[in-house]
Amino acid sequence: MGYAEFYRRSIEQPDEFWAEQGRLIEWQTPPQRVCDDSHPPFTRWFVGGTTNLCHNAVDRHLKDRAEQPALIWVSTETDRERVYSFRELHQEVQRTAAMLQALGVGKGDRVLIYMPMIPEAAFAMLACARIGAIHSVVFGGFASVSLASRIEDAEPRVIVSADGGSRAGKVIAYKPLLDEAIRLSSHKPQAVLLADRQLAPMERVAGRDHDWAPLRDKHLDAQVACEWLQSTDISYTIYTSGTTGRPKGVQRDVGGYAVALAASMQHIFQGRAGETYFSTSDIGWVVGHSYIVYGPLIAGMATIMYEGLPIRPDAGIWWKLVEKYKVTVMFSAPTAVRVLKKQDPAFLKKYDLSSLRGLFLAGEPLDEPTARWISDGLGVPIIDNYWQTESGWPILTIAGGVERKPAKFGSPGVPMYGYKVKILHESTGEELTRPNEKGVVVIEGPTPPGFMQTVWRDDERFVRTYWQSIPGKQVYSTFDWGIRDADGYFYILGRTDDVINVAGHRLGTREIEESISSHPGVAEVAVVGVADPMKGQVAMAFAIPKDSSVITDAAAALKLEGDVMKLVDQQLGAVARPSRVRFVSLLPKTRSGKLLRRAIQAVCEGRDPGDLTTIEDPSALQQIKDLIKQ
């Protein structure tokens, strides 16, 4: 069956289609109804079925592959490596589940996990899934104020954390950040469970704080059965990045999510039991949930959990791991590839990468030069994919497990099965059907399995935020601009909330960035809209030149700025020309590689840039501040 027919069945016969996919996981009680869409936009999947994420990720593999690798932990920060078989993972998860139960955690209770990339973090997630507790993972190293707001919203009975994490050899002490967050939060956890890595000193709070190792020793022989949960029960909540005010908890179900991941591992990632999957993400993000912990394990694969940078000890570390563990499927981000692109290309040829069948990239738009460089270097398919925390798995990509459709550089691909993706006019709600018409990318309900159920404890906010932004239409807005070409491939042009209004003309900053990036003298660029008393807003560009001497050579900078302005003028018209193009040595990004455009905008407008805990290098924003003052 070709992909077009496969997709058509998912849209026109969803119950039949998803009932088939539902057989990819194990159920304790079979579902009575595949899809209940009687109360849109709230869609319920596999109603009446009971199952368990941990059972599907761990227990069901014990019969056939107990001694096969399940979790491979590699830390180039602490020079440690450990492989857990499915049997060993099963034991550790049961021990952790018993520890949580001993601290008072039961079905429906929340457990907040604030940890570095260590095995205990995966044990804690799977243990929560096992006993029916709801986990909420917060990215390790988040600032106390941000962490406090998530503690208040999730109201965890227990918080699981560690003494510290490490990045580029620099220790980040977690415990003081956690203590301050608990002090700031109106909700206080009953207990805190701490993994002591001997990285940073910890002060324990008597009666509240418990050390992992001694508590684990008490439960070495623990046997904790899986709690059979309704498919529609809550598995976890995860907070979306970039939210202001009260954090927005994306709420996920149990059964629909398990089925969505099992299907994606087969149809999209083509992962096979006994093979190895390597996602370079972090468990603090949705990719870490779906494709470090749950997805690969559900598929019976070994999954690599990596703590470290892509260039430490050298730029060959990832490829060394591909060779050592015979990685077949890899998942990373364009930013990481751009980092590697600056290193010696010989590292791509140093190791045997014959096991690798494909590299998937997501998290931000993938530019063509980056895609071509890594494609030529690895000699394997590079598959872009587009999705969100809210969707839980890819919305747009290529389902190579169904049909090997060609990828197109610059496009994440076509809509995945179950997703009714359309492009609508943002103010009229009219569907745009002609090729290359620009509009808002939306999804018509019912949303497929694995998609968010609602916003945690706030159904009204879920409806208002996501389903009421297009006039006269109840459709889910991705808040991204996009176009679709004549072949049905989508191209994402940037956030609708990154649109700037220059003298009445609406411009996507992404389009201006693409234009500037095409100049041979520019390595990377960020464009933001800055308030202007005359035009409403003007575009301001901050670029990293390929020749770093431009930054300190005023004449060279002025010439390059003029050339860039002319290029934008030619490609997009004078209205899109930035008011200034300023040159910097680096751009402010989060540790996960996302550009902090809103922080840049705030600095340009003389406002407080807000919480910058996740910024990779604070000097990047300082450079911009200094330029603005000139």
Give 494-544 pLDDT, tens digit per residue. Answer: 777 777 777 666 677 877 898 899 999 999 999 999 988 777 788 999 999
Statement: 3-308+385-477 belongs to CATH 3.40.50.12780: yes
| Nearest Cα to Cα of residue 597 among 365, 386, 339 | 365
pLDDT in tens, 334-361: 888 988 988 998 999 999 999 999 999 9
As beta bridge partners, residue 522 has 545
Give me the pLDDT at residue 241, please.
53
Q: Are the CB atoms for 586 and 620 separated by under 8 Å? A: yes
pLDDT tier for residue 53 given thresholds of 50, 70 and 90: very high
Tens digits of per-residue pLDDT, 214-254?
999 999 999 999 999 999 999 999 998 543 456 789 999 99
> How far is Cα 189 from Cα 104, in angstroms, rounded to an integer?
11
Short-list 586, 604, 462, 475, CA closest to 524: 586
DSSP character string of 380-417: S-EEE-B--TTTSS-SEE--TTT--PPP-TT--BEEPT
Where is average pLDDT lowest: 4-8, 394-398, 599-603?
Answer: 599-603
Mean pLDDT (the chain) is 93
**Helical axes 619-629 vs 597-604, angle rounded to 10°:** 30
Rounded Cα distance, 396 and 257, in Å: 17
| Paired tokens of 347 | 């590292």
Cα separation, 385 vs 363, in Å, equals 8
Confidence of residue 77 (pLDDT cuts 50, 70, 90): very high
What is the pTM (predicted TM-score) of this model? 0.87
| Residue type at position 66 | A
Query: What gap in Å lies between CA 224 and CA 449, rounded to an integer?
Result: 28
Taken as a whole, the chain contains a residue count of: 630
As a whole number of Å, the end-to-end CA separation of the chain is: 62
> For residue 317, how many other CB atoms are within 10 A of its CB?
19
Which of these, 425, 419, 430, lies nearest to 440 by C-alpha position?
425
Residues linked to residue 227 through DSSP beta bridges, in sequence order: none
Which residue type occupies 76?
Answer: T
Task: Tell me the C-alpha distance between 534 and 532, whole Å.
Answer: 6
Domain boundaries, the chain: 3-308+385-477, 503-629
The CATH number of the structural domain formed by 503-629 is 3.30.300.30
Distance set, CA 607 to CA 173, 247, 601 (Å): 29, 21, 8
**CA pair distance 113, 25, nearest whole angstrom:** 26
Q: What is the per-residue pLDDT across 87-134, written as a single tens digit (0 to 9) for each?
A: 999 999 999 999 999 999 999 999 999 999 999 999 999 999 999 999
| Domains 3-308+385-477 and 503-629 equal at CATH topology level | no
